[in-house]
Structure 1
Amino acid sequence: MTDTTLSTPGFRSVLRRLWQDQRVWLASALILLALAVFDPAQSAQSARFAGGALLHTAPYLVLSIAIAAWAGATGADNLIAKAFTGAPLLMIALGALAGGISPFCSCGVIPLIAALLAMGVPLSAVMAFWLASPIMDPSMFVLTAGVLDLEFAIAKTLAAIGLGVFGGLVVHTLSRGGALAHPLREGIGDGGCGGATVRAPKPVAWRFWAEPERRAKFGKTALNTSLFLAKWLTLAFILESLMLAWIPTETVTASLGGEGLLPILTATLVGVPAYLNGYAALPLVGGLIEQGMAPGAGMAFLIAGGVTSIPAAMAVWALARPPVFALYIALSLSGAFSIGLLFQLWSM
């Protein structure tokens, strides 16, 4: 290979594309390698944690990937997109309600989010679903009621729907001014410009496997989405394992104690880096409330941490353009603080 070949724009473009595709895998490998050198036990523990977390979320991921690939291969995405046309406020409410009761985890819902945006579904309705989904699902409701109480579980469900509606309305207002027109990163979906599927829908081919072209589209979509999620979630779960290992529970407990307005604000901010996961956080919050922590602070911690946990936030970062990611975080934090404050006032 000559120096001239190395300097050609085409070759540099290929290298740049390879770097963009593999840099996440490389980051995961380098972290595990560094741990293997300086802390072998933690390296093995992080690898096991990431593998176990991927296996735990696999059923949700497989189902959501299959739905997204099926919708694209059959053309059913046209019908789904048409269902989101019409009254924006109604679509926001329905999106928040669906997110609040859906069984998908915050990472498993990512393929559906990408598919909806690529179909041309308004970002306001998708954001409502996006914000509500990580906070509550049927199994989380049951566990919350058992670990805390039924009142807290119901309030958290209403908080999830309320946060979704709040975020959807904010995005709707911004979108009316022309902002956030292209929410997806380049190369994911079609950058949110799939409105043509709504304006000029094609017939749906339910038996997509009978057509080679549609079979190929199903396979390509499923493969690309699987690889995309696998690399980002692997890195996210490795980082989460380090957070669990290196941030003592006592530190979180000390930061969230107390009463008044300040603990709610602190819980909102601490929830971002210190959140464990939806199930591990419940006993922690339950213990803190028993020790005198304000219920509103506990609610703010669960809401902020659930939406901005490392796996969820990294999935959003990988999928959405920076302005959309920044808005997602801002809505999460402001909404969590407001919900915590309202829950505290209601609990008094």
Structure 2
Amino acid sequence: MTDATIPHGPRAALRSLWRDHRVWLASGLILLALAITDTAQALDSTQFAFAALLRTAPFLILSIGIAAWANATGADNLIAKAFTGAPLLMVGLGALAGGISPFCSCGVIPLIAALLAMGVPLSAVMAFWLASPIMDPSMFVLTAGVLDLEFAIAKTLSAIGLGVFGGLVVHVLARGGAFADPLREGVGNGGCGGSKLRAPQPVVWRFWADADRRAKFAKTAWTTTLFLAKWLFLAFILESLMLAWIPAETVTAALGGSGIVPIITATFVGVPAYLNGYAALPLVGGLIEQGMAPGAGLAFLVAGGVTSIPAAMAVWALAKPQVFALYIALSLSGAFTVGLLFQLWQAV
């Protein structure tokens, strides 16, 4: 039976089912295929995904709560207003906040969506978005312990520098009319969120006293939770498969040597990097002890942090393809640049 002979009703229902639940269906199909071909891996991947969700749950709950609270109270008007004014200052503040905040790339998704939906300039949001996955306070301490303090400082400065670089690039492009509506359809309220800046409404801090605002809080929290759960579950399943099928040592061993070539290699290997920042540190540290250039190690950690599966899928889920492409391009060029600069610093 061809597609043309399928009744309109069932065909439309199938399209609707795929459109509304394609991410959950993709996860289910992957696990089903694994269950048929490798039952043990199917169980491992499922356990890995749920364990990863539990690890990130505190950040996710906090982010979801903030997004729902801002929407219910109307405080998002104040947040949006705080990002108006001097765009270059907002880029710097966004990069600094991303470099020192404890939010991972997954936990910050609701805040990013809320800010973009409110009409906050993409330049400031991109600065925060690029810097956030690279460094946080606990990562700084661990990096200093596993590698050294100089490397930890370099990684922090790289996070902030990449954020500023990305924000400035977006600012220049936006002045030419690009990225006026960066969010995908159905995420937030798209560029229409700029109305919160043009016609601000009063803030009601005690939102729980109003039934409509309580309902708005619950609806925002629930829809955001479902949105996060489906994308993160798929991302963690894919991450588990890369961990199982591609040994970490195989990837990092390709980054040995000195000169500019290892930095270039590390930058591109970091694009599909499946290692989270914590797991990558000891492996990179071991290779540095065996002679790998520190600049290559830094480039790998920066590129891997920004373009890892959870981080990249977060951008893909929220933003339009052209924004995603720019995010990857900024990650690559920024990771190579900071790796090269760190290598030059080491040579001085």
**Normalising TM by the smaller chain, what interval?**
over 0.9
Where 1:256 maps in the other structure, the secondary structure is coil
Deviations 1:35-78 (A, max 9, x none): 11111111111111111000000000000010001001100000
The one-letter code of the counterpart of 1:233 is L
- Gaps spanning 5+ residues in structure 1: where? none
1:129 corresponds to 2:128: yes
d(CA) in 2 for partners of 1:5, 1:69: 42
- 2:67 corresponds in structure 1 to 68
The one-letter code of the counterpart of 2:336 is F
Deviations 1:132-190 (A, max 9, x none): 00000111111111111111111111110000000000000000000111100001011
Shift of 1:249: 2.4
- The correspondence of residues 302-341 of structure 1 with structure 2, limited to 5 A, is 302-341=301-340
- 2:138 corresponds in structure 1 to 139
| Contact 2:249 2:283 (C-alpha < 8 Å) held by counterparts | no
| Structure 1 vs Structure 2 CA RMSD | 1.6
- 1:185 corresponds in structure 2 to 184
The one-letter code of the counterpart of 1:278 is G
| Contact 2:18 2:25 (C-alpha < 8 Å) held by counterparts | no
| Contact 1:124 1:167 (C-alpha < 8 Å) held by counterparts | yes
- Gaps spanning 5+ residues in structure 2: where? none
- 1:46 corresponds in structure 2 to 45
Shift of 1:315: 1.2
- 2:19 corresponds in structure 1 to 20
- 2:149 corresponds in structure 1 to 150
d(CA) in 1 for partners of 2:203, 2:194: 17
- 1:279 corresponds in structure 2 to 278
d(CA) in 2 for partners of 1:283, 1:5: 56
Where 1:195 maps in the other structure, the secondary structure is helix
| Contact 1:275 1:281 (C-alpha < 8 Å) held by counterparts | no
- 1:250 corresponds in structure 2 to 249
Range 245-254 or range 209-218, more displaced: 245-254
Return the TM-score normalized by structure 1. 0.96
- 1:266 corresponds in structure 2 to 265
Where 1:186 maps in the other structure, the secondary structure is coil
Return the TM-score normalized by structure 2. 0.96
d(CA) in 2 for partners of 1:168, 1:94: 10
d(CA) in 2 for partners of 1:312, 1:158: 20
Range 273-282 or range 112-121, more displaced: 273-282
d(CA) in 1 for partners of 2:160, 2:334: 11
| Contact 1:275 1:306 (C-alpha < 8 Å) held by counterparts | no
Where 1:226 maps in the other structure, the secondary structure is helix
Range 185-194 or range 114-123, more displaced: 185-194
Range 186-195 or range 227-236, more displaced: 186-195
Where 1:273 maps in the other structure, the secondary structure is coil
Shift of 1:16: 3.3
The one-letter code of the counterpart of 2:110 is P
- 1:106 corresponds in structure 2 to 105
Structure-2 change in CA distance of 1:86 and 1:329 (3 Å):
same
1:119 corresponds to 2:109: no
- 2:298 corresponds in structure 1 to 299
The one-letter code of the counterpart of 1:248 is P
d(CA) in 2 for partners of 1:39, 1:18: 28
Structure-2 change in CA distance of 1:345 and 1:73 (3 Å):
same
- 1:91 corresponds in structure 2 to 90
- The correspondence of residues 221-260 of structure 1 with structure 2, limited to 5 A, is 221-260=220-259
| Contact 1:247 1:274 (C-alpha < 8 Å) held by counterparts | no
d(CA) in 2 for partners of 1:222, 1:269: 37
Deviations 1:8-56 (A, max 9, x none): 6xx8666534322211111111111111111111111111111100000
Structure-2 change in CA distance of 1:43 and 1:283 (3 Å):
same
Write out the 4+ residue segments of structure 1 that deviate beyond 2 Å after TM superposition. Answer: 3-8, 11-18
- 1:7 corresponds in structure 2 to 8
* Identity fraction in percent: 81
The one-letter code of the counterpart of 1:305 is G
The one-letter code of the counterpart of 2:53 is L
Where 1:193 maps in the other structure, the secondary structure is helix
